[in-house]
Every structure is written in structure tokens, then in C-alpha cells.
Structure 1
Amino acid sequence: MSIKKFLSWSLVILWMALIFHLSHQPATVSNELSTGITELIVKTVEKIAPNAEFDIRSFNNIVRKNAHFFAYLVLGMLVINALRRSGVPGYRSVLITLGICVLYAISDEIHQLFIPGRSGEVRDVLIDSTGASLGVAIYWAASRLVKGSKTKDRN
């Protein structure tokens, strides 16, 4: 196994472990983390735009849902990269990546059913799946750009 292949799959596993760890936190701990991030964002925005008004509760919900989206955007990029380094070609790698990410999102929501104060939500699976899909699209577009620039450099 090549070092790049090993590292790419290691990153997938580590990122999945991080998602699992964050999902395993009871609701109170999870809410403290997202509230802290929300407050940091609000303070930063208030420095830039002092007259801005925020509904902290609504904004905290947006931060939480964006965290889902971002976590799975990264997971999608990591999985497709690992599959491509493992020799899985073209659209097959896209379909397998989306399958892995959607199944992980479903298992993550089921996992949360057993955590105090947490719930499993279909809406979160949809947010996660959308993030993974965008991650795959970004990876795909970036790889096409890199491949195109390498072709130009050879000519």
C-alpha cells in the first residue's frame, strides 16, 4: 500500500472518529460548544458591524446546521480522495463516496438517539448528504482544473 493511499484512508477514519466524538456528546455539552462558537462569531461580527442585531438562539441553530454541512463536506472530499488514490475511477468513485457518506450520516443520527438529550433527525441526514455532495463536486472540479493545468504545462 502506498503512503498516500494509507494517509488518505487514515484521514477518512480520523474525520469519522471526530464526527462520532462530537455526536457522542450529551446535548448540554454539544450546546455549550456551539453556543461558544456562536458567541465568538457574534462578537467578531459586532466589531465589524456594530449595529448588527442577532437572535442568538436562531443564529446558534444556523451554526449547528452549518457544522453538520461542513463536517460532511470535508468527509465527502476525504472519501473521494481516498477512493481515487485506491484506483476507483470516475463516476464509480462518486457513487461509492456518496453511499459511504449517506450511510455514515444515517448511522450518526441513529447513534444520537442513544445520547442524553440528543435526537436523530432526517433533516440532519439531508444536510449532511448535501454537504458531502458539495464536497465531492468541489473535489471533482478541483481535480479537473489540476489535470487541465498539467496538460497545458506539458504543451
Structure 2
Amino acid sequence: MYKVVSVLVVTLWMMLIFHFSSQPAIVSSELSAGITSTIVENLDESIPNIGSVITDHIIRKNAHFFIYLILGILTINLFNCIGLHKVKALVFSIIFCVLYAISDEIHQLFVPGRGAQIKDIVIDSAGAIVGICFYLVVGRIIRKKNSI
């Protein structure tokens, strides 16, 4: 059952990424501007003039990183669930996430106002790799704690 749930969660997360990538540029920009505005309003009270530092561009690139960080965690978990461990799970997870990032950028070529950017593939891939490493480090800590 855990394998099925893992496959389902990875699939749903990939569908969420696909959904965001399917948004025309105007819709995507409006969403980013709204998020940026909310963040600036909430932080401006404790950090004056934060709005001059936080830009829509920074928010968008961080979103790429973190959405793929989650994909990395979910993917390596899935590969562990289906019986791949250690190096195989690590390598397959990285390859899977990088290929999905590439396919995501190719997909955006067909969305009005959007385009493919190698910079986004690098950011997405870095996020996935950080997520995969986070999963491995946390797993190691938990195993050590349980073996004591």
C-alpha cells in the first residue's frame, strides 16, 4: 500500500508542476506578483524596506527550487519503496528529476508567453538534488538514532 501511495504522491506532485507550467505568462506573472505582494506586506512590518530586496524574480526562482526540492524528496522515497537503495536510488532520483525539469521547460515552449530557460533547469535540478540529499541525511540520522 505504501508503494501505491508513494507513486500516487509523486504523480500528483508532477501534475501540480505541470499545472503551474501550463499557465500562460500573464496568469503566472499575476500569481507571482500576488505572492510577492503578500510576502512583502507581511515582512515589511518587521523588516522595513524589504520590498526593495524581494522581487518577483527572486520569488519565482525560489518557487522553482522548492517545488523541485519536494519532487526530489518524493522521488527518492518512491525509489526506496520499490526496492532501489543507496547509489541506485540516488542516481535514478537525480536522473528522473533532471529529465522532468527538462521536459517541463520543453513543455513551456508551447504555452503562450512562456519559454524554456536553461537557468530554470539548473535551478530545478539543484532543488531536486538538495531535496534528495536532505532525505538521505535525515534517513541516516533516523537510522542511527534507532540503532542506539
Match of 2:49 in 1: 52
How many residues are aligned here? 148
Q: Which structure has the greater CA radius of gyration?
A: 1
Task: Note if contact 2:108-2:115 (Cα within 8 Å) is conserved in structure 1.
Answer: yes
Which structure 2 residue ranges, 5 or more long, are not aligned?
Answer: none
In structure 2, what is the Cα distance between the partners aligned to 1:132 and 1:53?
A: 28
Match of 1:113 in 2: 109
Deviation at 1:54, TM superposition (A): 2.5
Deviation at 1:48, TM superposition (A): 1.3
Deviation at 1:89, TM superposition (A): 1.2
In structure 2, what is the Cα distance between the partners aligned to 1:39 and 1:16?
A: 27
Give the root-mean-square deviation of aligned CA atoms: 1.1
Which structure 1 residue ranges, 5 or more long, are not aligned?
Answer: none
Aligned with 1:48: secondary structure? coil
Task: Note if contact 2:40-2:50 (Cα within 8 Å) is conserved in structure 1.
Answer: no
Deviation at 1:33, TM superposition (A): 0.6
Task: Note if contact 2:43-2:50 (Cα within 8 Å) is conserved in structure 1.
Answer: no
Tell me: CA distance 1:79–1:40, structure 2 relative to 1, closer, same or farther (3 Å).
same
In structure 1, what is the Cα distance between the partners aligned to 2:63 and 2:85?
A: 30
**Moved beyond 3 Å, runs of 4+:** none
**TM-score under structure 2 length normalisation:** 0.97
Percent of pairs with identical residues: 45
Deviation per CA, 1:46-103: give whole Å up to 9, x if none: 1212x324237x6110000000000100000000000001110111100000000000
